[in-house]
Amino acid sequence: MNYQWYPGHMTKARRMMQENIKLIDLVIELVDARIPISSRNPDIDELGKGKSRIILLNKSDLADPVWNKKWVEYFAAKGMGVLEINSRTGMGIKSIQGLVQEVCKEKIERDRKRGIVNRPVRAMVVGIPNVGKSTFINSFAGKACAKTGNKPGVTKGKQWIRLNKGLELLDTPGILWPKFEDQQVGMRLAFIGSMNDEILIPDELACDLIGAIKELYPKALQERYAADPVGKPIEILEAVAESRKCYSKGEQLDLVKASGLLIDDFRSGKLGRMTLERIDSDNE
């Protein structure tokens, strides 16, 4: 299947990003912990040049804990502030404030030398669609947050959330586009549900997903569906249909229904915590 990403509002997204980036000191980039490279924007390093940076591995509850640690080490080794978080439960969120202070140390020091004290760090959350930006902002800002009104000298309509004396967050996240011309990336985004499912063919998507899981977590397919993990993806999909009793009229296996169930099981973590992207020579 051709995994086609429709850039849609990419030009607008880029323009907004370029406009907002001028206003901030810190870029908080959210990625999906299950595919930490494919869920990044290919131009983020260029767009965020000269800004402090934090990368958050969101949805870490759905990803393999062993690989969460390895990916944290990977980004830390590249000099980035990094944490694994779960925006739904708030896991890891508390540690962000300390990390902000750490990555913005130079800026705070620079301000202090110039006699500027108590100027808050201004941050913006960015990430591709569906990575959890809104959930994260709600969780990070919490109920205690107060929206500050429009500030003089700031582009009209911008709203800042004051988290504490030292940190303000732009209330609207920057939506970035993924590396949409890359088929592997497109496929992984389709697996996690970051591509419009309506443009995808369910059983082909399911077979591609089975192919990926079979390589990395063969036992999961065996345990949940009693499937032979060395079988062909289509045979494994048939096993899914049998184990979940997906039959259409005439006792035929309903592979489309089975595909939906399998994809849902993966996306909701019922198949287990899985990381589908590994550190290899391509991204080292």
Ligand X SMILES: Nc1nc2c(ncn2[C@@H]2O[C@H](COP(=O)(O)OP(=O)(O)OP(=O)(O)O)[C@@H](O)[C@H]2O)c(=O)[nH]1
Per-residue tokens: 12: 């607008």
Q: Which residues, numbered 24-83, are part of the site for ligand X (CB under 6 A)?
A: 58-59, 61-62
153 is in an annotated binding site: no
Among 36, 81, 120, 132, binds ligand X (CB under 6 A): 132
CB 31 to ligand X: min, Å = 11
Task: Based on the shown chain and the rule CB under 6 A, indicate whether residue 172 belongs to the binding site for ligand X.
Answer: no
**Strands (DSSP E) found in the chain:** 26-32, 52-58, 81-84, 121-127, 146-148, 160-164, 167-170, 174-175
CB 136 to ligand X: min, Å = 6
259 is in an annotated binding site: no
Task: Based on the shown chain and the rule CB under 6 A, indicate whether residue 131 belongs to the binding site for ligand X.
Answer: yes
> How far is it, in rounded angstroms, from Cα 140 to Cα 86?
11
Per-residue tokens: 231: 């079988």
Per-residue tokens: 193: 């549900």
> Minimal CB distance to ligand X: which residue?
132
> How far is it, in rounded angstroms, from Cα 5 to Cα 153?
37
Q: Which residue, 105, 102, 66, is CA-closest to 84?
A: 66
39 is in an annotated binding site: no
Task: Based on the shown chain and the rule CB under 6 A, indicate whether residue 133 belongs to the binding site for ligand X.
Answer: yes
Task: Based on the shown chain and the rule CB under 6 A, indicate whether residue 95 belongs to the binding site for ligand X.
Answer: no
12 is in an annotated binding site: no
CB 66 to ligand X: min, Å = 18
Per-residue tokens: 185: 């990336």
Among 36, 120, 127, 174, binds ligand X (CB under 6 A): 127
- Give Dmax over CA atoms of the chain in angstroms: 80
Among 2, 134, 155, 164, binds ligand X (CB under 6 A): 134
Residue 68 or 87 having the CB closest to ligand X: 87
Q: Which residue, 51, 175, 46, 164, is CA-closest to 103?
A: 51
Q: Which residue, 19, 6, 9, is CA-closest to 186?
A: 6
> How far is it, in rounded angstroms, from Cα 224 to Cα 241?
12
Per-residue tokens: 154: 């700031």
| Eight-class DSSP state of 164 | E
86 is in an annotated binding site: yes
Residues 6+ apart with CB under 8 A from 268: 62
58 is in an annotated binding site: yes
Per-residue tokens: 13: 């997204």
107 is in an annotated binding site: no
CB 245 to ligand X: min, Å = 27
> How far is it, in rounded angstroms, from Cα 188 to Cα 190?
5
Residue 82 or 104 having the CB closest to ligand X: 82
Among 88, 158, 162, 267, binds ligand X (CB under 6 A): 88
Q: How many residues bind ligand X (CB under 6 A)?
A: 16
148 is in an annotated binding site: no
Among 20, 38, 52, 86, binds ligand X (CB under 6 A): 86
Task: Based on the shown chain and the rule CB under 6 A, indicate whether residue 129 belongs to the binding site for ligand X.
Answer: yes
127 is in an annotated binding site: no
Q: Which residues are annotated as a binding site for GTP?
A: 58-61, 86-87, 130-135, 174
Binding site for ligand X (CB under 6 A): 58-59, 61-62, 86-88, 127, 129-135, 175
Q: Which residues are annotated as a binding site?
A: 58-61, 86-87, 130-135, 174
